[in-house]
Amino acid sequence: MTTGAFTVYRSSAGSGKTYTLVRHYLKHALSSEQPFHTILAITFTNKAASEMKQRIIDALQAFAGHMKLDAANESLCRDLCGDLQLSEAELRHRSAHLLKMILHRYSDFHVRTIDSFLHKIVRTFARDLGLNVNFQIELESDPMLAEAVDRLIYRAGQPESSTLTALLVDFVLSKTEDEKSWNTFDRDIFKVAQTLMDEDSFHYLEKLRDISLDAFVATGRDLRRLKNQSEKTITEWAHKACVLIAESGLTVDHFQQKSKGIAGFFEKLTSDVSVKNLQPNSYVLDAIYEDRWYSANSKDGRGRVIDRIKPELIACYEQIRKHVSFYILAEAVLQNLYATAVLHEINDILEALKKETAAVLISDFNKHIASVVRDEPAPFIYERVGEKFLHYMIDEFQDTSAMQWLNILPLVENALANGGTALLVGDGKQAIYRWRGGDLEQFSRLPEIPGSEMSDRLVETEAALKQHYQEEPLKYNYRSLPEIVSFNNRFFEWLAHFKETELQKIYHDIRQLPKNGSSGGYIHIEFLPRADETTIEDRINEKLLETIRMLEKDGYAWKDMAILTRNNERGSAIARFLMSRDIHVVSAESLLIDQSAEVRIILAVMRYLNDALDDVNCMALMNGILTGALGRTPTSEDRRIMAEAIQDKKHDRRQFLSWLEERGFVLDESRLLSQPLYEMAEDIVRTFLPSLTASPFVIYFLDSVLNYSIKYDNTLMNFLKWWDIQKNKLSIVSPDETDAVRVSTVHKAKGLEFPVVIIDETGWQFKKTRDYIWTELRSKPFRTLPAVLLKSHSSLEETECKKTYEEESDKNFIDQANLLYVAMTRAKERLYLFSVLTKKAAENKITELKSVNDVIASFLRQSMNWEEGKMTYAFGDTAQPLRNKMDERPSVALENYATSPQRPKLRTKRHSCFQPYDDLSRREWGKLVHAALAQIRTLDDIVPVLSAEESEGWLDSKQSRDLSEKLLRLLGHKMVKPYFEPGVRVRTEAEVFLDSKELLRMDRVVILDHEIVVIDYKTGEEEGEEHTAQIQRYGRALEKLGYPVIKKILVYIEDEKIVPVA
Amino acid sequence: MKTFLDELADDLITRHENLGDLCVVFQNRRACLFFKLALQRTLAQSSWMPDVYAIEDFNQAVSGIHEADPMLALFELYACYGDAGGNDSFELFAPWGEMLLKDFNDIDHDLADAPSLFGSLDKAKAMERWNPGGEDVTPFQDQFINFWSLLAAMYESLQRKLQDKHQSLAGRIAREVAENIDEYLARHSWKKIIFAGFNALTAAEEKLFKKLVKDKRAEIFWDTDEYYLNHELQEAGHSIRRYAKAWIPSDWKFRSERLIKDSKNVDIIGAAKKAVQAKVAGNIIREWLEEGKSPISIAVVLADESLLLPLLYSMPESVKSVNISMGLSLRSTPLYDLIMNIFQMHASSEERNRSGQSYYYLDILRLLAHPFIQNLFKDRSLIRACKSKILKENIVFLDPDNLEELEPIRFLLFQWKNTDHSISTFKELVQKLSVGADMSVFELEMLTEFGNIVNRLKMLTSAYKLDLGVKGFQNLLTGALSATRLSFSGEPLEGIQIMGVLETRSLDFENLIVVSANENILPSAKVNHSLIPFDIRKGFGLSTYLDKDAIYAYNFYRLLQRAVSIRLIYDTEPNELGEGEQSRFITQLLHEWPAINPNVRLNQRLVTLPAESASSPAHPRYVINVNKDEAILATLDRYFEKGVSPSALNKFITCSLQFYFRYVANLFPPDEVEETIEPDIFGNAVHAVLAELYEPYRGQTLSAGAIDTMIEKVEKCVLKAFTHQLHEGSLDFGKNRLLVDVGVNIIKDFLHNEKERVQTAPVSVLELEKTFSRLITVSANGREKNIHLNGKLDRVEKFGDLIRIVDYKTGQPKDNLNVDDFKKLETVQDQSMERQVLFYAYVLAGEMQLAAMESGVYFFREIRKGFRPLIVSKNTRVELGALMEFENLLKSVLGKLVDPETPFEQTADRALCQRCDYARICMRDQVSPEI
Ligand code: SF4
């Protein structure tokens, strides 16, 4: 491995990228010059970091031991010996040492996720950035954003926000004009406000900062006026055309394509000017530009009439066209104008909210760093952070956002300048996170830095990167069998050349070699006959079932199979279907905690506790108990009784509660409500699901409750609200070895591999991955706005932002191709694709790739052995499954567990029972005084001890003053004063152990040369007998210890009395 | 098994005549308690007990200096900060102030020279260090240097001011003791001081120990094992190796080789997430008890203390007592939530309703749901009364003066203008709650602590003349509550021990379970919780993460020394930042231990949970069918009497089960306060306004002038219509205010349209919001029923010569109302509007004997497009033929309802379920996990 200081690996699926990273890490760590703590490896996902750590340690362990190496480690060993010019013996020796170093300086073993690295920096500089140094990390921005939008809207009508009110009224009214729903404007604002989280917006938002709300209102009104004008003009011209047509004795039907054609175009515009109607379809264009106005076989002479009025119609068309661009843009701009206008306000509220809750959004890390820290010299950052790195390694670079890279770049540059290295690994073909800010171009253009021309510093950095730049390919595919590798090679090579875009650049390295010595692999493509939507889904379900059955016969287990779908909805339907056929399935939905019937019972009880009046919930609970807990199907009789139980509302739900009781479930409201959430949940489990064994759903529900109560509060109402928002995200952790078919979206499958992958392509459209695009408009009325946010829509092609839109759709195409790439490269042994032949594909009339189905069909048609009417294409052989030996850790099942009622008692401290402070009971007071006296060794201690008690809030200042005066008087009395002088040997709270196994604790014992004095403080009234007896016991105990002269004194604090006892 | 403390007790008893002459010092209080117990177990005759202290208590006792209360120190520090010229608000200051106090403590504990430490970073030095090219400091750096320059002065003045109050920070006390030990010891009578169980010492401790050992006034008992002492890289032995080289004799007593030689049984168990770990620990305990191990020999160490509750609830039933030696933070008690709810109520009252005199209903409901608050109501029915009043009257903002039921908590509901207001509210709250009869000891304990904190804060704020503001006060209070811990009762000599890592110091257990053995917990995360940069800390000898890691390592390995059965449970799921794999200690053990100690058995296991698809609502068992029994048929008969509405018909067609829930089981979705104008409210209001406006002209031919008059009245009518449904005052602000404007606008638009229309042809309104009815006879399976059909028509008018039925719709418009195929109309959900207007035509035709009419819809979102008539087979008029067909359809659909053999069933169209009120019963209320 000869590398420059700045190395980029462009990897592909299955090309051993972790191996490369591990090798690189070890190369630096084992070279003698640099200790390992100067290496920082950054990964993207949670699992990747721990996997990499594990691999490094395992490799070192293998080298350090004297055992024979397995194949992977042997090749790693060979590579490293080569890299470092070392003998194997020396390498093994160094490895042993390095392993010990890493294990015992583990905090310096820097393999981290990017979030954790950035977090560290933000945490370090929190105070400098004006953040609360104890800030909480908030992962979800949506709830806070929604709150911010709410607060903003609530300002409408407040006297100090008149402009805002005007703007919002305009907004809502513009929605009515748009014929859109008007009471969802808050959701519209929310949607647009989500762009605040999007780092691409940053730049545009800055531009908008100085535009006042008034200016927005004015622009909005202007645009609406102009739009209405142009609408009117369009209608007029359309009307003119229609009149002309009618006066010539023609109707729409006389024109080519009738109402779909040019005449229909005019006709529609007379009644309804809309973006949809303004976009000419191909028939309209045919008429205008190809002179196809009527069908050639029109014999009745109408053609001639049409020919006569054609020029005038074209003129009308041209007149309308003049307004189209403006109209579309005005419409598009207005759609988001008002929401855009309040973005800064929302942002301000959001910031205030974060301050209030001392929260920092995880998505803010980059902004905070970018705002100041990035421009600081590296030594400063290193010093403050307390770590210093010389070697950087970044994994999954294609998913890195521009801001993330720019934030790390100064440190990387510093490393390069100081003899360090940087290594980036990425795969442009697997970039599927553009919508989360992943910047593909940044990767594909390396070592260039996009936007470097904007700053001198970046130009320098770029030069440095270029100077050290070196690119390394990773040629082999270690995952898939050769047939699959070569099919994917051909398929994506073909796809890359379908479009002249960045795609080609990204896919130029698509060609992979299969792993040496491997053979086999199978690809199966099948087109299902066309049918209407509902039945195609059923048909694919059956097909999947059939395939699974066949795979079982071939020797595959369920867990070897994965079904990949484009979206979760489809995945859910498939999973439901397979489950109904008794096939075990693990899918995103099947793992949701909320999908468990038991959890529904717990939740229903909680909801009941929160709102007993909710009839539907009561019914759900009863239904759940019958079907779930009692496991039977409710009869009509059951239904009737349940309905009646609910109807009885007068008596506190008595009938409902006794319904439960009759079935053995006692819902004790007051007991449940008095417990913290977690205990409440455990209690409900115990009461309502007593026979439950280890249900993963219930246990992870409890876990969610626990985490909620740790992070937020114990308020039931809040928890239930939180649950409703979170329930679609909270899943159980399923052990990987469960034998079940995985049903997953492609996104979720990234980074995974399966022996068999089945892709359902039937509904897979090339959809938009981004809803909005920012752009700057130059034409007249729009110029007043420095930036606008437009909904990405094909109509924009008719306007001046054609280019922006096309760029966006090119990027979108790449997203889709990449998604497909990820999907098709998951398979190790077999790959099944189920597809439909769209009408166009069947007729070979594809000009544009609109769905994966089209792509597959076109590919087969153009590059493979397409046969008309043939529906199934297979490549390679269906061999037996390969079984790799697995070195899994043994697992034990948690079959059942206890939920026992262990409510611990609390120990009472100084006060056993609370009393208001200004009315301390004597008992309290006594304890307090005793505690203070234990700390008093000499008279001089009295004031400081009591002032400390005071500042801790046990005494107010008057009490403290009174008590200290009293003690000074009392203990200064000549009878006891000598025992409070400095220099006497004193033990307070002195303990004596008696051979009767008792322990006595005496308030104060003073040991003088010839005598010993025991003092007992009393805060109550003098009680004679009892007190005397007690101190006499002390005396006897001391006698036992061998003291000859013993003095016993009772000191009554309240009465200021000193009583010597004989 | 003999523990360290047992061995120590033995040793001291044999070697010392009078234990009363001894002072025994441990690192922690828990060890003190256990040591005394060990002594008592060992002692055979009467004896003085020695004084036993934890080191911090020792320092205070020996010096007589009080450790400053942290809150007081923070206030004092803030004053110093102000004096030095700092200007952060207290709210912003408090978190870093706490950090700075810790730094000050560290400086003293490690005997660093504060002036030179804080002097080490001026501008010149900063440039040298940070800007290698010799550039000037950046503004950002400058900001930091300026801040830094305040610290030296703050350090000095804080120490001085605390001294004036006879107090010091713990570090300062330690330093005092170390530097003047002779003088202090002279005041005490101990003959010997025993330091036991220490490991890494602070510089102050080291100085103290060294000196006393040299003077033969102290003995030190280390508890170590050769396993980690022997190897240079083992961090657990780091400090002691160093002391052994420098100043301690190498033959100390407890140098064991247990980790090297003893046989031990170690299971390393991976489990996903907290609750599972707790349950696994519970199962291990059960096994152990079944094997006959005594409860007292078992300890569970919770590296993450938040697992306490789950662990307690995972104990097998056979466990009778546990001894918990960690506190329960007030943060996790119901009291805390109550306090937060009260704060939130005041905050949202401020935020939403500037006057601060009325309160947001959700906040009030939340409060009323709290068990403590419920205790304040002698008459619980008042609570229910409040609740239903709020719901019924749609009160969004509630003025407590108007709701006398709230009297028992009236004292919570007045505007907080400053800290004092909130303090007195809380004092009153504590007072009222504490006299309540329903409080348990546990709850009284919470109240005591809370009252104490409030009092303390009151005294401090008045002493320092700080108005923190309500928010600042809240922060301070939350901080104090989180820091306050309630201790559990328990018998140290009985039951299973549950403790945090730090409590285990110097203790030993034969059977040990460690839970949450993960990085970032064991050891805790490598965060720089300090304002002093790492290099400076290091340069001045302050402790760093390396020291912290080493201490954790020692605590961990020491625990293993005498243990025999060891279970280390870790969480297999990384945290949100992708951190927190299994603890490094586990990795160390796995890679190193077996090679050194052949008698140790290390087993690794993963815990799995059985996956059970049967419990999923998607399971066939959860399908709901309701067969029609006699009772249901009877209900249906009554229902037929009352009449079927178009929406009921639509419900029945789209999901017959939904129909069952609504019309047979009579289940209604819950009453909720409508905070904002929801679509139905909006719709109702529009209907009401139009009815009111047209009513005076019913039966007349409308003139343009009449419509002008209506337009003038719109605003008033709209307001009236909304106020009818929403509580007063909620229309002035926010979304509602905007929607009122919209209502006014669209109705005006509508009327303007009307004005144009009445000029094209004569329009006269015949009926407004009137219900028409028609009887239909349906039979199925031998049952024949007469069914009433009821349709409430928004408006019937005569337009030109034709009768027209008008329905107003404020919801989603539909492009065309089209019926081509009556078969489709029978099933397709999409055609519900068509069914509705046909239904209207059908009932009206029955009443008025019409042969043809128009029936259609005004979509208020598309007023420009005007009235949209139903088109039946291209005909905009509904004529007899169509009505006949519709009648057939009705008979066929309603036939299924009449048919006793056709059950009510769930719909196949799950999209419908997403908007269905009963989805929770069907368990079909969501299907979209996020990516
Ligand atoms: S949830 Fe679905 S199936 Fe159940 S009643 Fe509602 S619409 Fe029908």
How do residues B102-157 score in pLDDT, each as one tens digit? 999 999 999 999 999 998 888 888 888 888 777 888 888 999 999 999 999 999 99
Token pair belonging to B490: 């328990």
- Minimum CA–CA partner of B432 in chain A: A916
Residue B664 Cβ < 6 Å to ligand 1:
no
pLDDT of A289: 83
Residue B712 pLDDT > 70: yes
3.40.50.150, 3.40.50.300, 3.90.79.10, 3.30.379.10: CATH of A482-588+739-764+811-877: 3.40.50.300
* Other C-beta atoms lying within 10 Å of the C-beta of residue A969: 10
Token pair belonging to B81: 């900060």
Tell me, in angstroms, the distance from the centre of ligand 1 to residue A564's CA: 29
* Closest to B68 measured CA to CA, from B146, B170, B193, B202: B170
Closest protein CA for atom 1 of ligand 1: B919
Partner residues linked to A15 by β-bridges: none
According to DSSP H, which parts of B291-418 are helical? 308-312, 334-352, 361-369, 371-376, 381-392
Domain boundaries, chain A: 5-46+108-131+363-474, 138-357, 482-588+739-764+811-877, 593-727, 922-1061
Using CA atoms, how far residue B372 sits from A696, A916, B99, in Å, is: 34, 17, 35
- Taking a contact as any Cβ pair under 8 Å apart, which residues of chain A between 598 and 657 contact chain B? 598, 600, 604, 610-611, 613-617, 619-620, 623-624, 627-628, 631, 633-637, 639-640, 642-643, 646-647
Would you call A513 an interface residue with chain B, using a CB distance cutoff of 8 Å? no
Shortest Cα distance, chain A CAs vs residue B218, angstroms: 19
Shortest Cα distance, chain B CAs vs residue A951, angstroms: 7
pLDDT of A318: 87
Closest protein CA for atom 7 of ligand 1: B913
Domain of residue B579, CATH code: 3.40.50.300
Beta sheet of A1012-1018, edge-to-edge order: A1057-1061, A1046-1052, A1012-1018, A999-1007, A985-993, B47-48
Token pair belonging to A555: 């020797």
Alpha-carbon span A159 to A410, nearest angstrom: 48
Atom of ligand 1 nearest to the CA of B917: 6
Tell me, in angstroms, the distance from the centre of ligand 1 to residue A190's CA: 30
Q: What is the pTM of this model?
A: 0.90
- Any domain includes B595: yes
Q: What CATH topology corresponds to A593-727?
A: PCRA; domain 4 (1.10.486)
- Name which of B45, B317, B667 is nearest A616 (Cβ-Cβ): B667
Would you call B354 an interface residue with chain A, using a CB distance cutoff of 8 Å? yes
DSSP assignment of B247-270 equals: TS-S--TEEE-HHHHS-EEEEEEE
Q: How confident is the model at residue B603 (pLDDT cuts 50, 70, 90)?
A: very high
Side-chain half-sphere CA neighbours of A614 within 13 A: 19
- CB contact (8 A) between residue B584 and residue A951: no
* Other C-beta atoms lying within 10 Å of the C-beta of residue A382: 18
Alpha-carbon span B495 to B295, nearest angstrom: 5
- CB contact (8 A) between residue A699 and residue B279: yes
Biggest CA pair distance of chain A: 143
Contact, A587 vs A571, CB < 8 A? yes
Q: What is the mean pLDDT of residues B851-879?
A: 87
**Chain mean position to CA B843:** 55
A634 DSSP assignment: P
Token pair belonging to A705: 């409750």
Give every CB contact of residue A918 below 8 A, 6+ residues apart in sequence: none
Residue B919 Cβ < 6 Å to ligand 1:
yes
* Other C-beta atoms lying within 10 Å of the C-beta of residue A77: 19
Top mean-pLDDT range of A521-530, A1027-1036, B260-269, B830-839: B260-269
Tell me, in angstroms, the distance from the centre of ligand 1 to residue B921's CA: 8
Sign for the pseudo-dihedral over CA of A552, A554, A557, A560: negative
Sign for the pseudo-dihedral over CA of A968, A969, A974, A979: negative
pLDDT of B391: 77
Do B545 and B573 belong to one domain? Answer: yes
Residue B922 Cβ < 6 Å to ligand 1:
yes
Do B360 and B475 belong to one domain? Answer: yes
- Name which of B334, B621, B738 is nearest A627 (Cβ-Cβ): B621
**Per-residue H/E/C for A134-190:** CCEEECCCHHHHHHHHHHHHHCCCCHHHHHHHHHHHHHHHHHHHCCCCCCCHHHHHH
Do B793 and B861 belong to one domain? Answer: yes
Would you call A362 an interface residue with chain B, using a CB distance cutoff of 8 Å? yes
Token pair belonging to B114: 């504060």
Tell me, in angstroms, the distance from the centre of ligand 1 to residue A538's CA: 21
pLDDT of A779: 82
* Closest to A63 measured CA to CA, from A22, A104, A35: A22
- Minimum CA–CA partner of A596 in chain B: B616
According to DSSP H, which parts of A741-874 are helical? 746-749, 802-824, 839-842, 852-863
pLDDT of B593: 94
Residues of A in contact with B591 (CB under 8 A): 57, 61, 99, 103
- Minimum CA–CA partner of B50 in chain A: A991
* Other C-beta atoms lying within 10 Å of the C-beta of residue A771: 15
Of B562, B592, B607, which residue constitutes the final position of a domain?
B607
Shortest Cα distance, chain A CAs vs residue B788, angstroms: 24
A133 DSSP assignment: T
pLDDT of A178: 58
Residue B912 Cβ < 6 Å to ligand 1:
yes
Do B323 and B338 belong to one domain? Answer: no
pLDDT of B210: 95
Shortest Cα distance, chain B CAs vs residue A877, angstroms: 34
Residue B392 pLDDT > 90: no
Do you find a cis peptide bond into B400, omega within 30 degrees of 0?
no
Tell me, in angstroms, the distance from the centre of ligand 1 to residue B906's CA: 6
- Any domain includes B746: yes
Would you call A288 an interface residue with chain B, using a CB distance cutoff of 8 Å? no
Shortest Cα distance, chain B CAs vs residue A982, angstroms: 7
Partner residues linked to A198 by β-bridges: none
Do B375 and B432 belong to one domain? Answer: yes
Do B434 and B479 belong to one domain? Answer: yes
Do B344 and B203 belong to one domain? Answer: no
Would you call A917 an interface residue with chain B, using a CB distance cutoff of 8 Å? yes
- Minimum CA–CA partner of B460 in chain A: A951
Residue B918 Cβ < 6 Å to ligand 1:
yes
Entry field: residues in chain B: 931
Contact, A333 vs A785, CB < 8 A? yes
- Name which of B187, B276, B666 is nearest A982 (Cβ-Cβ): B187
Of B116, B134, B164, which residue constitutes the final position of a domain?
B164
Alpha-carbon span A853 to A760, nearest angstrom: 10
Q: How confident is the model at residue B490 (pLDDT cuts 50, 70, 90)?
A: low
Do you find a cis peptide bond into A447, omega within 30 degrees of 0?
yes
Contact, B571 vs B509, CB < 8 A? no
Do B417 and B472 belong to one domain? Answer: yes
Would you call A989 an interface residue with chain B, using a CB distance cutoff of 8 Å? no
Alpha-carbon span B569 to B572, nearest angstrom: 9
Alpha-carbon span A502 to A444, nearest angstrom: 9
Q: How confident is the model at residue B170 (pLDDT cuts 50, 70, 90)?
A: very high
- Taking a contact as any Cβ pair under 8 Å apart, which residues of chain B between 227 and 246 contact chain A? 231, 233-235
**Which of the two residues, B296 and B669, has the higher pLDDT score?**
B296
Would you call B613 an interface residue with chain A, using a CB distance cutoff of 8 Å? yes
Partner residues linked to B582 by β-bridges: B518
Closest protein CA for atom 4 of ligand 1: B922
According to DSSP H, which parts of B660-782 are helical? 679-694, 704-725, 734-760
Contact, B241 vs B250, CB < 8 A? no
Q: What is the mean pLDDT of residues B849-859?
A: 88
Count of structural domains, chain B? 6
Q: How many CB pairs under 8 A join A and B?
A: 565
Using CA atoms, how far residue A158 sits from A151, B304, B887, in Å, is: 12, 48, 55
Alpha-carbon span B714 to B692, nearest angstrom: 10
Alpha-carbon span B426 to A66, nearest angstrom: 69
Phi/psi class of residue B18: alpha, beta or left (left: φ > 0; alpha: ψ in -120 to 50)? beta
- Name which of A595, A604, A903 is nearest B616 (Cβ-Cβ): A595
Q: How confident is the model at residue B777 (pLDDT cuts 50, 70, 90)?
A: very high
Do B479 and B337 belong to one domain? Answer: yes
Task: Output the CA angle B192-B181-B174, nearest 5 degrees.
Answer: 105
Shortest Cα distance, chain A CAs vs residue B838, angstroms: 25
Question: B629-639, pLDDT tens digit by residue?
Answer: 888 999 999 99
Token pair belonging to B377: 């109501």
pLDDT of B622: 78
Token pair belonging to A95: 């490895």
Provide the residue type at A106 as one letter: Y
Partner residues linked to A1018 by β-bridges: A1052
- Kind of pairing, strands B817-819 and B867-872? parallel
Atom of ligand 1 nearest to the CA of B913: 2
Give every CB contact of residue B422 below 8 A, 6+ residues apart in sequence: B343, B346, B416, B470, B473, B474
Does 3.40.50.11750 match the CATH number of domain A5-46+108-131+363-474?
no
Average pLDDT, chain B: 88
Tell me, in angstroms, the distance from the centre of ligand 1 to residue A103's CA: 57
Would you call B488 an interface residue with chain A, using a CB distance cutoff of 8 Å? yes
- Quote the crossing angle between the two packed helices B170-179 and B203-214, to the nearest 10°: 30
Please list the ranges in chain A whose pLDDT falls under 70: 1-3, 176-183, 296-300, 500-501, 531-534, 649-651, 692-693, 735-737, 844-847, 884-890, 895-896, 898-924, 953
- Any domain includes B635: no
**Which of the two residues, B836 and B874, has the higher pLDDT score?**
B836
* Other C-beta atoms lying within 10 Å of the C-beta of residue A641: 17
Atom of ligand 1 nearest to the CA of B656: 8
Question: B502-537, pLDDT tens digit by residue?
Answer: 999 999 999 999 999 999 998 988 777 889 988 899
Provide the residue type at B912 as one letter: L
Using CA atoms, how far residue B142 sits from A372, A386, B533, in Å, is: 13, 19, 15
Do B316 and B410 belong to one domain? Answer: no
Residue B698 pLDDT > 70: yes
Residues of the domain holding B90: 69-164
CATH of domain A922-1061: 3.90.320.10
Average pLDDT, chain A: 85
Provide the residue type at B672 as one letter: E
pLDDT of A922: 63
- Any domain includes B250: no
Alpha-carbon span B816 to B799, nearest angstrom: 21
Q: How confident is the model at residue B614 (pLDDT cuts 50, 70, 90)?
A: low
Token pair belonging to B846: 């029955």
- Minimum CA–CA partner of B237 in chain A: A104
- Minimum CA–CA partner of A651 in chain B: B381
The dihedrals phi and psi of B859, each to the nearest 5 degrees, come to: -95, 115
**Chain mean position to CA B426:** 23
Q: What is the mean pLDDT of residues B766-788?
A: 91
- Name which of B455, B471, B578 is nearest A115 (Cβ-Cβ): B578
Residue A701 in 3-state DSSP? helix
Residue A233 class from Cβ within 10 Å (0-12 exposed, 13-18 middle, 19+ buried)? middle
Residue B923 Cβ < 6 Å to ligand 1:
no
Do B58 and B79 belong to one domain? Answer: no
Shortest Cα distance, chain A CAs vs residue B442, angstroms: 6
Do B75 and B58 belong to one domain? Answer: no
Give every CB contact of residue B697 below 8 A, 6+ residues apart in sequence: B706, B765
Alpha-carbon span A619 to A596, nearest angstrom: 17
Alpha-carbon span A197 to A211, nearest angstrom: 20
B569, containing H or E segment: strand B565-571
A5-46+108-131+363-474 shares its CATH topology with A482-588+739-764+811-877: yes
- Name which of A616, A639, A908 is nearest B626 (Cβ-Cβ): A639
Alpha-carbon span A472 to A441, nearest angstrom: 18
